Chain A
């Protein structure tokens, strides 16, 4: 009996002595540089997006866009003969889960990350990805991303300010509307939109006739719309995700409001149309770098490939993700599957003409600086000529 305890005590002592150095010194973190041994090992890229929770449909579109690009690249031989292997991680729209995932992908040897679609999660992951030297091309558009200052962070589309300043210019300067109301939600996207659009209006010398904020999960916006109706606006700017925007339009029409709807990216999507009902959305002004699957031959080709692969037509988020993936692949090819800072620099050096435009990254990681304006009619967006 006593001997048993002595043995345990000795074993513990031995282990204790053996472990006198701090833990974690032998963790497998890739500090960047040349690729691992074996020039046939697949190139591991992680896709991190919300696959559950309220933004899960966005995550799905994104993943499909990325996968299409990667499948096409792999079919054409991959990167220097190495296949690109994609793994999907669900961040559940939660920044904390995102930080855990950042460490997970670092520990499992992923050399790059595509995603997420939520700026809040991207912001949370950025410091960890920077310290783990993993470049990230995100679909977020918040201007807060510009303040991160990490050489590893890139955006696959324009910032919210770009969307909204272009929109504001069209609505105020080109169309001459003076009475504009704003209805935004309070999540990070909506809050960003509220700030960007009101800044843009102010720079054009205009203040909105009514501004209302709704909780992100709310599905009944009638009270707020009733108040807005009282201010008699000509245009209603909406800053909310696809479904909520569609509900706002539907409920506004039910209140008899004939306002012109003006919105950024979400207005160009099928979910917006199906929730609002196509008839109610006629005349909506959309500001988006990807106005539809028919705007260019590249878009048509992309749409055809996407539809044959997944059975449904693509939209903005899929297109953005596709472009981001293409940029990543181009960079990998240019530097022969390098990793870390070298890969980040390669991404910055990429000049790629994609569905959203020509990517030319600046020091803050933004690559696209313009959006286009289109008008919704019968469910189709017609670009306006500036």
Chain B
């Protein structure tokens, strides 16, 4: 029983990371109708930048992470600008464009930081919380907390600010949004930048739990993507539920299926997508009539 709860809690803390990744995917999808295949690579860059600030420049972790988010946000702006001519025209091409961008970013990471990875020591040295034999790391709690704050901040931004409302308007009908005076390109750029920042946050938070390497974004990206789809692409509560769900499912799958856990995850995922493509919370449709 203890083993069950231990697996559950460790799954939940990773689930918070996946939720952040899923949020970044969902935000870009919700506003631009685009699935960003470069998201994983952006995550990797964010993790590397944060760990460089933290380890080499000796900045405190709480400063390194936002700094990394800013850098990665800028990268997101560049990607959006480059792919802007394709927006609203051809989704398949834009998808391939993001794959290309992801390839470039991964190669850049290898060229800058070499393909050897690096471990990041935990920035929180407090003792773990022990509840009934189940160990909950202090840092794991911090990750869940920070993720919750990020989600709250994003929700407030989207619903209470003018920019956020503008982004939602673009999502619903980009032509009408232009008619109302919203600069669609800039709104999309902002969405992309925030999405990238969220990816960086996820990667930075995950680095002390995992290992920073050029391929870390691949598996985190795919898990985050599966989380976004399962929860319902474009939905914020969906991203959270999906992320936590994938975290917990992945945790148990790793125990039971060991080496085959990826295979099980993807077969189940394929079947679910076929049965209900819109996910648990349904797809917040991007109107592309």
Contact = CB atoms under 8 A, between A and B. Distances in A.
Interface of A: 52-54, 56-57, 60, 186, 212-215, 217-220, 222-224, 226-227, 229-230, 243-244, 246-247, 250, 254-256, 271, 274-277
A315 B219 CA distance: 30
- Overall SS of chain B's interface: helix
25 contacts: A52-B115, A56-B116, A57-B115, A57-B116, A212-B258, A214-B259, A217-B215, A218-B219, A220-B210, A222-B10, A222-B251, A223-B7, A223-B11, A223-B250, A224-B254, A226-B3, A226-B6, A227-B3, A229-B3, A244-B211, A247-B119, A255-B6, A255-B135, A271-B116, A274-B119
Contacts of A56: 114-116
Interface string B116-148: 110101000000101000010100000000000
B215 A54 contact: yes
B14 interface: yes
B135 A219 contact: no
Contacts, number: 87
B253 to A, nearest CB: 8
A230 B3 contact: yes
Interface of B: 2-3, 6-7, 10-11, 14, 110, 114-117, 119, 121, 128, 130, 135, 137, 209-211, 213, 215-216, 219, 250-252, 254-255, 258-259, 261-262
B246 to A, nearest CB: 13
Chain A to chain B: the 8 pairs with minimum beta-carbon distance, closest first: A219-B210, A223-B254, A275-B119, A57-B116, A222-B10, A219-B211, A186-B259, A230-B3
A223 B251 contact: yes
Contacts of A53: 115
Contacts of B262: 215
Contacts of A277: 119, 121
Nearest to B254: A223
Given A56-B115, A224-B255, A247-B211, A219 B10 contact: no
Given A243-B119, A254-B128, A255-B6, 14 more contacts: A56-B116, A60-B116, A214-B259, A215-B262, A217-B215, A218-B219, A220-B10, A223-B10, A224-B255, A226-B10, A229-B6, A246-B119, A255-B135, A275-B119
Contacts of B135: 254-256
B14 A220 contact: yes
Contacts of B210: 219-220, 247
A171 B128 CA distance: 31
B119 A230 contact: no
